[in-house]
């Protein structure tokens, strides 16, 4: 992708994280990137810190780009597509990261055979560690997918899934950093409760998470078998595990992922609906 121009439309939390993550890679030269957003203050910050080209004109950003990342809220994606569609051509690639919004919907709104790749990254793109799933739209060939993969791999790992699974991905890994932040916050609070300072409790909790994540990744072992390494007979970990099972930690996580998955489906069908109920 090193000679390609990339536009990111919507540089809030996710688009901004993707832009910063991509720019950590050696192939990504700032002059090849354009950031477009409605919020001028975000653009000023990115221009100053990343030296990318910025504009508050989405059409202008879309026009010169080989690959466009659409990272606006599902609620306004139609408005942005309507704005840029006349400038889109089938030689460009459009990556949409909007939760719930189907490639077919974007395609019919554009009304041209533009290759679309739907992607669901997560906020850890900011540090190049996103867990991203992607799925091709109707006109996306292997070549388009390879190009999208190259860009998305620059912000972390990428799996390809059928588009019908994108809401599940949104519920699990798109939303996933929030579950982890909450768990670590809880661990940190717990550390304070049992007498540690906040700084020490935070540092120990974060490193515990990092170490456990690295163990799971490096060994490739099922978490249940790694859990057995900690739970010695009559020890502290098995007592803590009993307490967590009584409180239903796993059931809570399953409920949360299901709820987020449902919300993603609702957002796709009714972007302005503020509840989670599907019809």
Ligand X SMILES: NC(=O)c1ccc[n+]([C@@H]2O[C@H](COP(=O)([O-])OP(=O)(O)OC[C@H]3O[C@@H](n4cnc5c(N)ncnc54)[C@H](OP(=O)(O)O)[C@@H]3O)[C@@H](O)[C@H]2O)c1
Q: What are the residues binding ligand X (CB under 6 A)?
A: 9-15, 36-39, 42, 58, 71-74, 76, 79-80, 97-99, 120-123, 174
Please identify, using beta-carbon distances, which residue of 109 and 221 lies nearer to ligand X. 109
Q: Strand 33-36 and strand 53-55: pairing?
A: parallel
Contact by Cβ (8 Å): 76, 100: no
Smallest distance from the beta carbon of 44 to ligand X, in angstroms? Answer: 12
Q: DSSP letter at 87?
A: G
Pick from 119, 274, 253: nearest CA to 176: 253
Q: Which residue has tokens 């456990």?
A: 212
Rounded to a whole number of angstroms, the CA Rg of the chain reads 21
Q: What gap in Å lies between CA 212 and CA 152, rounded to an integer?
A: 25
Q: What gap in Å lies between CA 122 and CA 179, rounded to an integer?
A: 12
Smallest distance from the beta carbon of 37 to ligand X, in angstroms? Answer: 4
Smallest distance from the beta carbon of 97 to ligand X, in angstroms? Answer: 5
Smallest distance from the beta carbon of 156 to ligand X, in angstroms? Answer: 12
Smallest distance from the beta carbon of 177 to ligand X, in angstroms? Answer: 7
How does DSSP assign 193-260, residue by residue? HTT--HHHHHHHHHHHHHHHHHHHHHH---HHHHHHHH--TTSHHHHHHHHHHHHTHHHHHHHHHHHH
Please identify, using beta-carbon distances, which residue of 50 and 123 lies nearer to ligand X. 123
Give me the residue whose beta carbon is nearest to ligand X: 12
Smallest distance from the beta carbon of 90 to ligand X, in angstroms? Answer: 23
Smallest distance from the beta carbon of 76 to ligand X, in angstroms? Answer: 5
Q: DSSP letter at 36?
A: E
Please identify, using beta-carbon distances, which residue of 75 and 231 lies nearer to ligand X. 75
Smallest distance from the beta carbon of 20 to ligand X, in angstroms? Answer: 12
Please identify, using beta-carbon distances, which residue of 132 and 201 lies nearer to ligand X. 132
Helical residues (DSSP H) of the chain, grouped into ranges: 13-22, 40-50, 58-63, 77-84, 103-110, 142-153, 166-169, 176-193, 198-219, 223-230, 236-247, 249-269
Helix (H, G, I), strand (E, B) or coil at 165: helix
Give 116's strand partners: 94
Please identify, using beta-carbon distances, which residue of 123 and 134 lies nearer to ligand X. 123
């Amino acid at each position: 992708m090193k000679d390609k121009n990339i536009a990111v439309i919507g540089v809030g939390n996710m688009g901004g994280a993707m832009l910063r993550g991509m720019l950590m890679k050696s192939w990504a030269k700032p002059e090849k990137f354009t950031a477009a957003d409605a919020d001028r203050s975000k653009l000023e910050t990115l221009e100053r810190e990343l030296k990318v080209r910025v504009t508050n004109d989405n059409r202008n950003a879309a026009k010169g780009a080989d690959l466009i990342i659409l990272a606006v809220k599902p609620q306004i994606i139609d408005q942005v597509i309507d704005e840029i569609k006349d400038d889109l051509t089938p030689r460009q690639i459009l990556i949409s990261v909007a939760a719930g919004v189907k490639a077919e919907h974007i395609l019919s709104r554009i009304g041209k055979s533009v290759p679309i790749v739907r992607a669901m990254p997560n906020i850890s793109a900011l540090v190049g560690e996103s867990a991203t799933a992607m799925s091709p739209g109707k006109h996306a060939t292997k070549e388009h997918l390879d190009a999208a993969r190259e860009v998305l791999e620059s912000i972390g790992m990428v799996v390809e899934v059928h588009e019908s699974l994108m809401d599940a991905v949104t519920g699990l890994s798109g939303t996933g950093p929030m579950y982890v932040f909450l768990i670590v916050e809880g661990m940190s609070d717990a550390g304070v409760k049992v007498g540690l300072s906040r700084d020490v409790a935070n540092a120990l909790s974060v490193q515990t998470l990092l170490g456990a994540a690295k163990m799971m990744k490096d060994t490739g072992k099922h978490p249940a078998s790694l859990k057995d390494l900690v739970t010695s007979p009559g020890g502290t970990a098995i007592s803590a595990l009993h307490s967590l099972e009584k409180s239903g930690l796993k059931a809570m996580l399953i409920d949360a992922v299901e709820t987020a998955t449902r919300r993603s489906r609702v957002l796709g069908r009714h972007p302005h609906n503020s509840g989670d109920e599907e019809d």
